[in-house]
């Protein structure tokens, strides 16, 4: 039997469905973000990255790099194994204390990625609650969906940000049954925000726990960069706050923060924590440096919001189909998988602009888009070049411009 035929057929199906993903070989340039070197088939070429989740450019910040180099020099490259076997490196202890302080929670637990922190965190928490009913927002990230699935608990999906539907499901479950509401504070493909206080009101009314993913908001919002929950004054109302170290903090890793009893239980029961090697000391030290800096500094957040607002205004004025977004995410609708990939390819090869196409299953079919994420380092000249390039690509591919009246019209 030729087993390779099964794998080849699986990849062929993705190609036929226009879902086959092609990676672009990039080298980020420290000190020159958002510029990168694209290792194309015709040789290296400098390009501008417009879709990085290193939202604030902290991956190149001198404090972050300095902390990483110093820790690697002192402690070496790796963590030495799982925390249960090799012990916990001290920079990791400091990082968890910093995360707990950021979210004003009693304790925090760091995982190897944001995906793992959701997947194993949700599954473990729900499993430890007898007869738990999990209520999950319809647009939750795959990591949350997998966490709910692996919990083995009964679940209900509530329509995205529809608190009336959530209340119907909570009422049907009754106040006596244990319940866990899982949702994101900021949804990364559309850029919309959850109604945090209304969700918390319902949780209190019907006796439910709350678990909020702040992955695309930590570092970005709030007085100290703790996220949307801090900005909206809801941190103390949410039982578990989850976040990442890989986006606005510019490193890698994920975490949950909450009551010390909950964190201790997850630490003691979660397979995704117990049986995997810990983050290296250098990564932990770098992440701690990023969090500490963004707790004090407002300049990165202010500049970032200015850049995002300018991009939205410029593209909207140019009649490009910018999808509504209340945050730093700037989605531009294409609505066709083939043309979305073609637009991305033309931007890269002809204009030196890298924006990855977002197709199904990340977004529903018919809502394919280019997801633009400005940073504090995208200056006005880069904004002008982006707008001109998008208009050129739109015209050459025959894509529709937005014919809705502008607000001032």
The set of catalytic residues is: 247
Q: Are 24 and 45 in contact (CB under 8 A)?
A: no
Q: Alpha carbon of 24 to those of 106, 250, 355, 360: distances in Å?
A: 42, 20, 10, 19
Listed in order, strand segments (DSSP E) in 78-226 are: 107-111, 133-137, 154-158, 179-184, 208-213
Name the β-bridge partners of 134: 155, 180
Helix (H) or strand (E) holding 354: strand 353-354
* All residues at 6 or more sequence positions from 340 whose CB lies less than 8 Å from its CB, including other chains: 334, 357, 358, 359, 368, 369, 370
Q: What backbone phi and psi angles, to 5 degrees, belong to 12?
A: -60, -35
Q: For residues 370 and 35, give the distance between their C-alpha atoms in angstroms, rounded to a whole number.
A: 19
Q: For residues 247 and 215, give the distance between their C-alpha atoms in angstroms, rounded to a whole number.
A: 8
Q: Alpha carbon of 386 to those of 127, 314, 318: distances in Å?
A: 48, 10, 11
User: What letter would DSSP give residue 333?
Assistant: E
User: What letter would DSSP give residue 236?
Assistant: G
Q: For residues 336 and 359, give the distance between their C-alpha atoms in angstroms, rounded to a whole number.
A: 8
Tokens of 334: 């294409």
Q: Are 375 and 33 in contact (CB under 8 A)?
A: yes
DSSP 266-327: HHHH-HHHHTSPPPPHHHHHHHHHHHHHHHH--HHHHHHHHHHHHHHHHHHHTT--BPP-SS
């Amino acid at each position: 039997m030729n087993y390779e035929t099964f794998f080849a057929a699986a990849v062929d199906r993705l190609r036929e469905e226009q879902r086959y993903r092609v990676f672009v070989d990039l080298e980020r340039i420290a000190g020159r973000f958002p510029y990168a070197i694209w290792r194309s088939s015709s040789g290296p070429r400098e390009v501008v990255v417009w879709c990085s989740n290193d939202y604030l450019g902290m991956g190149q910040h001198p404090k972050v790099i300095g902390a990483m180099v110093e820790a690697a020099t002192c402690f070496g490259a790796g963590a030495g194994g799982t925390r249960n076997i090799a012990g916990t490196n001290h920079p990791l202890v400091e990082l968890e204390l910093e995360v707990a302080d950021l979210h004003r929670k009693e304790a925090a637990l760091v995982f190897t990625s944001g995906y793992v922190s959701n997947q194993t965190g949700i599954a473990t928490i729900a499993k430890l609650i007898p007869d738990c009913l999990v209520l999950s927002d319809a647009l939750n990230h795959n990591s949350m969906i997998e966490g709910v699935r692996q919990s083995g608990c009964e679940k209900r999906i509530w329509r995205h940000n529809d608190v009336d539907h959530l209340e119907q499901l909570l009422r049907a479950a009754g106040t006596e049954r244990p319940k866990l509401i899982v949702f994101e504070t900021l949804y990364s493909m559309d850029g919309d925000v959850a109604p945090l206080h209304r969700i918390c009101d319902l949780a209190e009314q019907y006796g439910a726990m709350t678990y909020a993913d702040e992955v695309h908001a930590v570092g970005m919002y709030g007085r100290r960069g703790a996220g949307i929950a801090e900005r909206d004054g809801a941190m103390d109302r949410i039982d578990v706050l989850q976040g990442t170290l890989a986006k606005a903090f510019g490193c890698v890793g994920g975490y949950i923060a909450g009551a010390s009893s909950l964190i201790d239980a997850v630490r003691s029961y979660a397979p995704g924590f117990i049986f995997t090697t810990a983050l290296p000391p250098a990564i932990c030290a770098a992440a701690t440096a990023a969090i500490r800096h963004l707790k004090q500094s407002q300049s990165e957040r202010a500049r970032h919001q200015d850049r995002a607002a300018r991009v939205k205004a410029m593209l909207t004025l140019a009649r490009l189909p910018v999808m509504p977004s209340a945050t730093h995410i700037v989605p531009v609708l294409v609505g066709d998988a083939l043309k979305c990939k073609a637009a991305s390819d033309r931007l890269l090869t002809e204009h030196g602009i890298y924006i990855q196409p977002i197709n199904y299953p990340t977004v529903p079919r018919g809502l394919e888009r280019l997801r633009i994420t400005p940073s504090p380092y995208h200056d006005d000249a880069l904004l002008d070049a982006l707008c001109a390039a998008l208009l050129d690509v739109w015209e050459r591919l025959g894509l529709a411009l937005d014919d809705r009246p502008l607000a001032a019209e």
